[in-house]
Every structure is written in C-alpha cells, then in structure tokens.
Amino acid sequence: MKTFKMSKTMYYDLPLLLKKADAIVKNQALPTFTMVNIKTYKRMEREIKKMVVRELGRLPKKTVDYEAGMYLLNYGPFPLEGRGLRDGYVLVDTAGLNETKEQILKEKSK
C-alpha cells in the first residue's frame, strides 16, 4: 500500500491520477486499486461535472450527471467511507495492482 497527495488537476484529470498511481498497463486502466476518501470523491465528481459543462456546453442536468458518472465509472477511484484516509490523498493497493499487471502481461504475450 502506498499513498500520495493529489494535485489540483487530478480532481478532474483521472488518467493523470492513474498514471501517477502506476495503474495503467498496455493502455488498460486499473482504477479499482486506487481509493480515496468520500469527501475527495464528491469533490472529484463536482470538478468533473464542471469539466463536462466546459467541454460540451450547456446541457440538461441529467445529461451532465450521466456523462460525469460514466467518466467516474471508467477511470474513477473507489470511494472509502469512514476516517481511514485524509482528504486529498489517494491510497493504492500495490500488491493487488502488481498481481493484476502480471496477469494482463501474460495474457497479452500469448
């Protein structure tokens, strides 16, 4: 397990967060091994909604929620309840991540 502090851009640039967590293998993202506090997750959700509005213009609220939800589903970290992790920090399960990386690399080499 390792932790690191998020920069301001990582709240909406999730591929950058995954790259820093080393959770990308052969263009395949592995966000299930990254975890954040629930407050941090909510802030990420707000920032991503702002990003969607900036990129796609004015849209109905349901559409913005849908787009932000899909982005978080594909690249977002796992939200943790409770007080185990401080706001603005990311926890990475390195053991599980390394095991999954090895499996992916074995499958790709076949």
Confidence of residue 37 (pLDDT cuts 50, 70, 90): very high
**Beta-carbon count within 10 A of 82 CB:** 7
Distance CA 85, CA 40 (A): 10
In three-state secondary structure terms, 80 is strand
Mean pLDDT of 43-50: 96
Task: Please tell me the predicted confidence (pLDDT) of residue 33.
Answer: 94
pLDDT of 110 strictly over 80:
no
Q: Which residues contact 74 (CB under 8 A, 6 or more apart)?
A: 29, 31
Task: Please tell me the predicted confidence (pLDDT) of residue 75.
Answer: 94
Confidence of residue 84 (pLDDT cuts 50, 70, 90): confident
Task: Please tell me the predicted confidence (pLDDT) of residue 107.
Answer: 87
The model carries a pTM of: 0.87
pLDDT of 26 strictly over 90:
no
